[in-house]
Amino acid sequence: AEPVGAIIETVKVALEHTAPELAADIVDKGIVLTGGGALLGNMDFVLRHATGLPVSLADDPLSCVVLGTGRALEEMRRLRNVLSSMY
């Protein structure tokens, strides 16, 4: 239960620091779980209960991470500009 609790707390902190326009999208569309953590038993239910937001599981959570990383690498220049403007 401890790793799940740490994940939940991290999500809550991330949501607290989310820009208002993105937060509105999350409230409307919910959270989509990806990666290995998405496969932990009842993670969607626990996160939904903890945040009050809709939570769904990606069709293929493990592939989402790989595909997203590939897209980020393809868009490295744009991503670098976004990250540098944030920090």
Where in the chain does DSSP place strands (E)?
31-33, 55-57
Q: Could you give the C-alpha distances from 7 to 13, 70, 78, in angstroms and in order? A: 10, 24, 28
| Cβ–Cβ < 8 Å for 31, 51 | yes
Strands 55-57 and 31-33: parallel
Q: What is the pLDDT of residues 21-37, one digit of tens each?
A: 899 999 999 999 999 98
> How much is the pTM?
0.72
Residue type, 7: I
Residue type, 83: L
Q: What is the pLDDT of residues 59-82, one digit of tens each?
A: 999 999 899 888 888 888 777 777
Q: Write down all domains in the chain, each with its CATH number in brackets.
A: 2-61 (3.30.420.40)
